Amino acid sequence: MLRAASLRVTRVRLAVLEAVSSNPHADADTIIGEVRNELGSVSKQAVYDVLAVLVETNLVHRIEPAGSPARFETRVGDNHHHVVCRSCGDIADVDCAVGHAPCLHASNNHGFSIDEAEVIYWGTCPDCASKRLRIENDLTSTRSE
C-alpha cells in the first residue's frame, strides 16, 4: 500500500497503518500507544506526521465528530458515513445513505463540484442504552420499596 502511494516503507509507517487497521475509529493517542507497544520509543510528532501523510495519500481516512478528537480508519474511497454514541463516543460505520457517492445530492451546490458528503448520525449505542435501562429500573425498584 505504501509503495503504491509512492511512499517509502518505514517501520513507523507500517506500525501506524497496522494500528489504524487494528483499531478502526481510534484517536491519535490510541494509535500512538499501539505504535509504542510495537516499536518502543516513538515520538508523538512522528506518529502525527505519518498520520498526516497517510491521510494526504488517501491510505487513511480522518473523521472529526463534534466534541471528539480526530479519529482514523483505513476504510477509504467509498464515502461511507458514521454513527456516534452520545454517551460513550463509540463509532460505527454506516454504508452510503442513498445512491452512489457522494450519497447525498445538495439542494444547491453553489457552483461547487461536490465529490463527497459526510454524514454523522448521533444516538445511543446498545451498551449505553442497556446501562441506562438498568439504572432506570434500579431507581424505579428503589422508589417502590
- Which residues contribute to the annotated binding site for Zn(2+)? 85, 88, 125, 128
For the chain, give percent helix, strand, coil, nearest 5: 40, 15, 45
Reported for 72-77, long-range contacts at CB under 8 A and 24+ positions apart, including other chains, are 72/20, 72/25, 72/26, 72/27, 72/28, 72/31, 73/20, 73/24, 73/25, 74/17, 74/20, 74/21, 74/24, 75/24
Taking alpha carbons only, the member of 78, 114, 110 closest to residue 96 is: 78
Q: Which residue positions form the known binding site?
A: 85, 88, 125, 128
Cα 24–Cα 86–Cα 28 angle in degrees, nearest 5:
35
Fill in the DSSP letter of residue 63. E
